Amino acid sequence: MPTTLKKLVRARMEKTGESYQQALRHVRAEDGSRREGPKTTLGPATRTLTPTRCIYCAAALTTTTRWAHVWPKSMGGRLQSREICCDNCNNAIGQLEDQLRSNLLHVNATMGAHNGDGMPIVAPLEIDGQSFHISGPLVNLQVSGASYDRGAQRLAVPLPAGFTNQVGAVGKHLMRQGRTAADLAIEPGQEPHLPPSGRRTYDLKIGASSIDKRVFAKMAIELLAFFDHSLALRPELAEIRRFIRDGVGTLQSKPDRRSRGSGIPLPLLSEMFNLIEVWSFKRALYFRVTFLKWISFTGTLTTSWEGGKFRAAYGFDARKPAQWFKKADRRDGFNLSVWFPEMRDEVSQTAAKEFEAESARLMEITEIPPRELPPTIEKLRDGVTEWLAKQPRRAKRTPRSSS
């Protein structure tokens, strides 16, 4: 097999997660259509041979350009490409995404959403000076650091959950103090004040700031670029690209539960999905971004679109981001519904109600792990002695010699 074909297949496998055979079939099909003349398929594989430029600043992209995620990876996004934007623009936009991510952190955490690496999104919570981590319906107490009691000349080390963690936490302190496991004692600690369970409040103040809007527009235009780079570069989108990259100008965008969107037939999505759509409707190019099924914003990228009919969507299960789909074709979507101010409340009230119901449901189906009993002192001593023996010698602090 020629090396260029191999390269194309490998690039496609990396990009789409397809098997070798699937990728080979697609690349061969696309290769055929290229030879036959006008391009009939959509997708990044058809562009691998042409040098690409950053859609924001026109810098040349290379094979070492960092992956750009259409939907922020920290919020579960996996659709990525090296042929959208340069590292500089990627970093600059990443900072905007951090703000949106923190605005949505608590609701993502309570709904059990996962990030692009498949790890649960965890939100911190402070109550009465104690730290908790929210993850799904569980609120986990975070063990505080060790404290030294001067009067009693004792060091108290709160025990984390899990025997291995306990041995490590205690062992580190003993090592630092130059003590052995013989010096250990176990005492009951203070009972934590648990936060009230059940009802949680959801702050849905997203989408109003210019920064949030820049991220919405970024997702939309990068979805466009993922499927057809030339469409994202069209002159009628110059203003919106400047808005995203430099914050110049503005974007018409609003909470919206009424518009029908791109009209792309969606596969059966989970109860909690995230979705970004972009579509043409006559001379307009619209987008819709949906967080956790219930929070939707629509907006207008341009009203002088000359790029032809096009619509695209990328969506995924917020709790299992590995379950995602993407789709694009050359058709118009639907017009946006007429906006009226009450739509803002409609979105936030519906979302709050649905999230509360979902929270209660999660509470019901989740098994709360039983409270772990502390280890016996003998078991802890044995474990710590073993741990200390395994530590590299030079890491042990030896008393300084007097010479």
Buried b (16+ CB within 10 A) or exposed e, 309-345: ebbbbbbbbbbebeebbbbbeeebbeebeeeeeebbe
Q: State in angstroms the smallest separation of the CB of 54 from Zn ion.
A: 3
Closest C-alpha to 279, from 297, 245, 302 = 302
Concatenate the DSSP letters of all residues of 37-49 into one string. SS----SGGGGTT
C-beta of 246 vs 306, nearer to Zn ion: 246
Q: State in angstroms the smallest separation of the CB of 245 from Zn ion.
A: 7
Long-range contacts of 376-380 (CB under 8 A, 24+ apart): 376/186, 377/184, 377/185, 377/186, 379/163, 380/166, 380/167, 380/170, 380/181, 380/184, 380/186
C-beta of 56 vs 316, nearer to Zn ion: 56
Q: State in angstroms the smallest separation of the CB of 59 from Zn ion.
A: 5
Using the rule CB under 5 A, give the single segment among 59-67, 112-120, 138-146, 306-314 that binds Zn ion: 59-67
Q: How many CB atoms lie within 10 A of CB 44?
A: 20
- Residue 54 sits in the site that holds Zn ion (CB under 5 A): yes
Return d(Cα 298, Cα 333) in angstroms, integer: 13
Tokens of 123: 């939100």
| Among 61, 84, 86, 121, interactor with Zn ion by CB under 5 A | 86
Contact 391, 176 (CB under 8 A): no
Size of the site for Zn ion (CB under 5 A): 6
Q: How many CB atoms lie within 10 A of CB 301?
A: 25
- Residue 89 sits in the site that holds Zn ion (CB under 5 A): yes
Q: State in angstroms the smallest separation of the CB of 18 from Zn ion.
A: 29
C-beta of 57 vs 157, nearer to Zn ion: 57
- Residue 8 sits in the site that holds Zn ion (CB under 5 A): no
C-beta of 90 vs 296, nearer to Zn ion: 90
| Among 56, 226, 279, 281, interactor with Zn ion by CB under 5 A | 56
| Pairing of β 138-141 and β 130-135 | antiparallel
Beta pairing partners, 53: 60
- Residue 324 sits in the site that holds Zn ion (CB under 5 A): no
- Residue 92 sits in the site that holds Zn ion (CB under 5 A): no
- Residue 156 sits in the site that holds Zn ion (CB under 5 A): no
Residue with tokens 């016996």: 376
Q: State in angstroms the smallest separation of the CB of 70 from Zn ion.
A: 16
| Phi, psi torsion values for 33, nearest 5 degrees | -70, -30
C-beta of 238 vs 322, nearer to Zn ion: 238
- Residue 222 sits in the site that holds Zn ion (CB under 5 A): no
Q: State in angstroms the smallest separation of the CB of 58 from Zn ion.
A: 7
- Residue 351 sits in the site that holds Zn ion (CB under 5 A): no
- Residue 59 sits in the site that holds Zn ion (CB under 5 A): yes
Using the rule CB under 5 A, give the single segment among 85-93, 199-207, 224-232, 308-316 that binds Zn ion: 85-93
Residues that bind Zn ion (CB under 5 A): 54, 56-57, 59, 86, 89
